[in-house]
Structure 1
Amino acid sequence: MQKVNIPALLVLMVALLMLSACASTSTPPAETTSTPVASSASTGAGVSPTETSTPVAVANTRVGTEEYRIGPQDLLEIQVVGVQDLSRTVRVNSRGSISLPLVGVVKAAGLTSQELEAELATRLAKDYLQNPQVSVFIKEFTSQRVTVEGEVKKPGVYPIKGHITLLQSLATAEGITNMADASNIKVFRVAPDGTRSVQVFDLEQIRTGAAPDPEVRNDDVVQVGQSQGKAVAKGLMEFILPFRLLSPAL
């Protein structure tokens, strides 16, 4: 009877598993109707899909853009149509307020740009202008942050300024690891009304232009999943390492 070379057989099995893992990362995960989201997403902390049973819809589409609320140190560009002297760029102070001519001190923190526009227009219309047209543009979002976790090289909570996309947020964490499943990138989000949502993206589709690069918002959590095939292959490689040391011919 021919003697079976067990270490060589294990090496062959690992090679087949690694090939299978590489092939699986290029295939988008099947869409599901619900998935649990951790309640810690609203605080920017790491999340685990097993921490809560709240079901939310999942879709491989662009993440929605809930209205951002102004925070301290944000930089605002305020325009009053027809009144150049009232148009200026101001930074929200640490107390969340701004100061403007005629209007005085206004509490801006916690308001959306539309809400602040309405507040400024109301104050100007009261004593100074008739039907004032006010626009507020947020030039810098200095109070924003995003959490990047999972199979990235440097997970953590990162401050962000202005608009940032999914690819850019992954770059701040120095990219994904070689154990990552590029087709399983989740973005967790909590809306102002407390509604939790998660959407799944395929990194390779975004890189090739087949899918848009979604915008990541304040307090979002980006979670990079692990490739199960690669994890199994790594475990087997670690298991057969002693056999390889005993069999130099392998």
Structure 2
Amino acid sequence: MAKLHEIDFAALSGAEKSKFILDLKDLAEECFAAYPFEVTINAQLLIFTRWWNSYRLMVPEIPAPEILETIMEMLWDYQEGKIEPSEFMRFADCLDAVVIEIATGDTEKLDKDEAYYDFKAQYFWNWAEGEPYYNIFLIDASSLFEEIREHIIDWNCVQSIVDCDLADLKVPFLEEMDEAPDCTANVLEKWSQEVYNTPTFCEVISLLQRDIQNALSGMPMAELRKQYQSEYVFSPEDCAKITEEAF
């Protein structure tokens, strides 16, 4: 059976594309089942770095809060072995407390340690300016810290961004499609298949597959880090178009 990165997504039928997206998490888990934990995290980091390079360009009038760049740099530094695990784990624990509050309003963990509030004051002092544009990316990217901290793998964050953000919100702008219909499940499924069939969405999946291939290639992370400074899920020109249409 073909692995996730070997499937020709563009050649699939509409129903097969829908099943691919529905099963994306399971396909990813199967693809990396025989590989070390670090390789799987590397793949997710490549995917998120590509997305981040585009997301940061979409709201130019509201510059991305510095904490998001810090998060991505911290993940790369850790995967390259440039920082001590204890330092990374402390950062991850503090980040978790703040993200829980941002995502849910729950301050129970934040209230347990003054260090969490110090972390929030240091890194999230201007976060309100970025809401709500960057909340989704913050929550999903922070899940990588949780995976590393707990030594677990969870592809839900990748599947969520692919289907609920890129497919539902970003691709339709570039393809000049109508918004998702608020009607029956059958009509919504038909609309989703139309999105999945677009050249733009097929390219989104192709790029994700390329990121997986790069992670499996064994190329040193230092080389990949340099390469991924200019890898995008949407080109800067397309990001400008999304900005014009959406904001």
For the aligned pair, the TM-score class normalised by the smaller chain equals under 0.3
Specify which structure has the higher proportion of helix. Answer: 2
TM-score normalized with structure 2 length: 0.23
Larger strand share, 1 or 2: 1
- Taking structure 1 as the reference length, the TM-score comes to 0.23
